[in-house]
């Protein structure tokens, strides 16, 4: 039999395998057991993976998806951890025939693809996209779905970096915005400009005041005006809250935080509710180029594997610390959605599994005492960021939210923010006791 006939038979066999057994089809595609193919191969493989995920994701628990989604053993060696494809480019089988669709690592990389599939699975979305930072993900999203002259509703206590992106960068590009308390639906509706408001940008819980917005209600309001709902889910993590299941169109993460979980990698992510929007964002991800490297993707995947067990410990420790702070005379007030007198407690209880590892409090002695507390802790490391295994403390007004000073989003000067880690909780309590004095 001639070479041409062999190729035809192989193609027929492959098509039959994919039609009758999508799981085997995926593994055969990835194992290299096929003839040369055209540039659509990567798209075909991605579509098969989507079909498989839709068939299987609902049958597995969160921790199973976190450990296995997108992370099949390597077909050549059996390695149970996805390899780090530390390469910038890929040999092609022929002109116009890249192997498995891989041409250049800005466009796609197998390690990043594994992370992106895992992100989509644990957030209950259709498409996951990984970026070099959370702000890179935000910028790509906003410049994909918005145009100059559009308008966005944002929280009146948004993360300082997000506020800076809107106020100092995208405003110059022609994107307008209005900051309102998203927990007040009447205020959100009043801020809408029909025909111009493109999306609601939500954080819940917010950074650093830990306000809670009703995701389902915001989604209904956005869709009523033919707008989109974007939810920054960084504080909650997919383990505690899945906004897409509540009606959100896009979920944003700084994967630097709870997803990575070990303060050793910077990254961001977008997860979409539809393939259509995912395809648009994937085009801009490549065109704008703000992707993460393969080693960063690998570190984030490693962190996600233990997200569930880490979040349980973060929550356990946070609840103990909240109880301690509530009784301490140096503390004027504690902000935590798990408290029954928190104004967003009922909504948080409805849409979150637990209430998270972030705690903010106000110093009874005012701004000077707040700064002194931050400077006195020993186990709580004075540092920006959050969501790592180690506990962090910061003064938002002079650190993470300094860019909001003098604006409507300025945070109280007596505010202290804790990212409660997974250390022995009695040691953390003792450290706070000596710092509070």
pLDDT of residue 57: 56
Is residue 236 within 8 Å of residue 208, measured between CB atoms? no
Is residue 156 within 8 Å of residue 409, measured between CB atoms? yes
**What are the pLDDT digits (tens) for 358-384?**
999 999 999 999 999 999 999 999 999
- Whether 159 sits among the annotated catalytic residues: the reply is yes
Same domain, 410 and 262: no
Query: Could you tell me if residue 25 is inside a domain?
Result: no
Query: Could you tell me if residue 286 is inside a domain?
Result: yes
Same domain, 287 and 354: no
Query: Could you tell me if residue 64 is inside a domain?
Result: no
C-beta neighbour count of 172 within 10 angstroms: 9
Residue 120's CATH number: 3.40.640.10
Which of these is catalytic: 14, 99, 106, 305?
Answer: 106
Same domain, 277 and 322: no
Same domain, 120 and 265: yes
- Locate 322 and state its tokens: 């909240």
State yes or no: pLDDT of 107 exceeds 90: yes
Long-range residue pairs from 9-16, CB within 8 A, at least 24 positions apart, any chain: 10/34, 10/35, 11/35
**CA pseudo-torsion sign 336, 338, 341, 342:** positive
- Whether 257 sits among the annotated catalytic residues: the reply is yes
State yes or no: pLDDT of 296 exceeds 90: yes
State yes or no: pLDDT of 97 exceeds 70: yes
Q: What's the average model confidence in pLDDT over 19-40?
A: 36
Query: Could you tell me if residue 383 is inside a domain?
Result: yes
Q: What is the count of structural domains for the chain? A: 2
Same domain, 291 and 214: yes
Residue 47: band (very low, low, confident or very high) from pLDDT cuts 50, 70, 90: low
Last residue of a domain, one of 303, 325, 353: 303
Closest CA to 124 of 213, 246, 303: 246
State yes or no: pLDDT of 316 exceeds 50: yes
State yes or no: pLDDT of 413 exceeds 50: yes
Query: Could you tell me if residue 65 is inside a domain?
Result: no
Same domain, 410 and 286: no
- Whether 28 sits among the annotated catalytic residues: the reply is no
Q: What's the average model confidence in pLDDT over 223-227?
A: 97
Q: What's the average model confidence in pLDDT over 22-41?
A: 36
pLDDT of residue 125: 97
Task: For residue 273, give the 3-state DSSP assignment.
Answer: coil
State yes or no: pLDDT of 288 exceeds 50: yes
Last residue of a domain, one of 303, 320, 340: 303
Same domain, 98 and 126: yes
Which residue is associated with the tokens 């976190």? 66
Q: What are phi and psi of 18, to 5 degrees?
A: -65, -35
Cα separation, 286 vs 327, in Å, equals 52
Beta strands in 255-329 (DSSP E): 268-272
Query: Could you tell me if residue 205 is inside a domain?
Result: yes
Task: For residue 153, give the 3-state DSSP assignment.
Answer: strand
Which residue is associated with the tokens 């092609």? 92
Same domain, 299 and 320: no
pLDDT of residue 399: 92
Is residue 217 within 8 Å of residue 249, measured between CB atoms? no
Domain hosting residue 325, numbered range: 308-436
Closest CA to 208 of 362, 21, 365: 362
Which of these is catalytic: 159, 239, 258, 336?
Answer: 159
Residue 425's CATH number: 3.90.1150.10
Which pTM does this prediction carry? 0.87
Same domain, 236 and 361: no
Cα separation, 199 vs 250, in Å, equals 10
Q: What's the average model confidence in pLDDT over 279-293?
A: 98
**What are the pLDDT digits (tens) for 160-218?**
999 999 999 999 999 999 999 999 999 999 999 999 999 999 999 999 999 999 999 99
pLDDT of residue 130: 98
Residue 16: band (very low, low, confident or very high) from pLDDT cuts 50, 70, 90: very low
Residue 31: band (very low, low, confident or very high) from pLDDT cuts 50, 70, 90: very low
Angle in degrees, CA 40, 42, 48, rounded to 5: 105
Residue 19: band (very low, low, confident or very high) from pLDDT cuts 50, 70, 90: very low
Residue 46: band (very low, low, confident or very high) from pLDDT cuts 50, 70, 90: low
Cα separation, 199 vs 230, in Å, equals 7
Is residue 146 within 8 Å of residue 174, measured between CB atoms? no
Query: Could you tell me if residue 1 is inside a domain?
Result: no
**What are the pLDDT digits (tens) for 118-148?**
999 999 999 999 999 999 999 999 999 999 9
Closest CA to 303 of 269, 271, 258, 270: 258
User: DSSP secondary structure string, 190-238?
Assistant: HH--TTTEEEEEEESS-TTT-----HHHHHHHHHHTT-EEEEE-TTTHH
State yes or no: pLDDT of 391 exceeds 60: yes
Cα separation, 72 vs 69, in Å, equals 7
CA distances from 150 to 191, 193, 218, 248, 394 (A): 13, 9, 19, 19, 35
Q: Calculate Rg over the CA atoms of the chain.
A: 23
Last residue of a domain, one of 303, 331, 354: 303
pLDDT of residue 3: 42
Which of these is catalytic: 257, 310, 354, 362?
Answer: 257
Query: Could you tell me if residue 342 is inside a domain?
Result: yes
Residue 395: band (very low, low, confident or very high) from pLDDT cuts 50, 70, 90: very high
Cα separation, 284 vs 268, in Å, equals 15
Same domain, 168 and 226: yes
Cα separation, 265 vs 261, in Å, equals 9
- Give the least confident one: 193-202, 286-295, 380-389, 395-404: 395-404
Which of these is catalytic: 150, 232, 296, 414?
Answer: 232
Same domain, 362 and 296: no
pLDDT of residue 311: 98
Q: What's the average model confidence in pLDDT over 96-109?
A: 94
State yes or no: pLDDT of 9 exceeds 90: no
**What are the pLDDT digits (tens) for 415-428?**
999 999 999 999 99
* Angle subtended by helix axes 294-305 and 110-123, to nearest 10: 30
Same domain, 254 and 164: yes
**What are the pLDDT digits (tens) for 229-245?**
999 999 999 999 999 99
Is residue 106 within 8 Å of residue 286, measured between CB atoms? yes
Angle in degrees, CA 403, 201, 172, rounded to 5: 55
Work out the mean pLDDT of the chain and round it to a whole number.
89
Regarding beta strands 151-155 and 268-272, do their DSSP bridges make them parallel or antiparallel, or are they unpaired? unpaired
Angle in degrees, CA 369, 374, 379, rounded to 5: 140
């Amino acid at each position: 039999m001639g070479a041409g006939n062999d190729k035809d038979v192989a193609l027929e066999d492959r098509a039959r395998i994919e039609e009758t057994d999508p799981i085997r089809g995926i593994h055969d595609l990835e194992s290299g057991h096929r003839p040369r193919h055209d540039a659509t191969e990567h798209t075909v493989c991605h579509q098969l993976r989507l079909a498989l995920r839709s068939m299987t994701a609902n049958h597995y628990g969160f921790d199973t998806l976190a450990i296995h989604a997108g992370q099949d053993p390597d077909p050549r060696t059996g390695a149970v951890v996805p390899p780090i494809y530390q390469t910038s480019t890929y040999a092609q089988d022929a002109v116009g025939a890249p192997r498995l669709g891989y041409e250049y690592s800005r466009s796609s990389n197998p390690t990043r693809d594994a992370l992106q599939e895992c992100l989509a699975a644990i957030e209950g979305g259709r498409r996951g996209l990984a970026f070099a930072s959370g702000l890179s993900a935000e910028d790509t999203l906003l410049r994909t779905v918005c145009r100059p002259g559009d308008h966005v509703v944002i929280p009146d206590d948004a993360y300082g970096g997000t506020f800076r992106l809107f106020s100092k960068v995208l405003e110059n590009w022609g994107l307008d915005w209005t900051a309102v308390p998203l927990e007040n639906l009447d205020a959100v509706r009043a801020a809408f400009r029909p025909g111009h408001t493109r999306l609601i940008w939500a954080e819940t819980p917010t950074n650093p005041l830990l306000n809670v917005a009703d995701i389902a209600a915001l989604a209904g309001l956005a869709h009523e005006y033919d707008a989109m709902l974007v939810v920054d889910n960084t504080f909650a993590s997919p383990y505690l809250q899945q906004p897409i299941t509540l009606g959100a169109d896009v979920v944003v993460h700084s994967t630097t935080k709870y997803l990575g979980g070990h303060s050793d990698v910077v990254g961001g992510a977008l997860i979409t509710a539809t393939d259509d929007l995912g395809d648009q964002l994937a085009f801009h991800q490549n065109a704008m180029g703000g992707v993460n490297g393969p080693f960063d993707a690998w570190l984030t995947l490693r962190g996600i594997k233990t997200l569930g067990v880490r979040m349980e410990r973060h929550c356990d420790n946070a609840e103990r610390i909240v109880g301690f702070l509530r009784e301490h005379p140096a503390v004027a007030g504690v902000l935590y959605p798990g408290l029954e007198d928190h104004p967003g407690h009922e909504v948080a209880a409805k849409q979150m599994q637990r209430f998270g590892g972030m705690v903010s409090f106000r110093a009874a002695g005012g701004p000077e005492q707040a700064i002194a507390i931050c400077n006195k802790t020993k186990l709580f490391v004075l540092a920006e960021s959050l969501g790592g295994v180690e506990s962090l403390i910061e003064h938002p007004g002079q650190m993470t939210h300094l860019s909001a000073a003098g604006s409507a989003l300025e945070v109280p000067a007596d505010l202290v923010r804790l990212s409660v880690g997974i250390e022995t909780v009695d040691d953390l309590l003792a450290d706070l006791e000596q710092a509070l004095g």
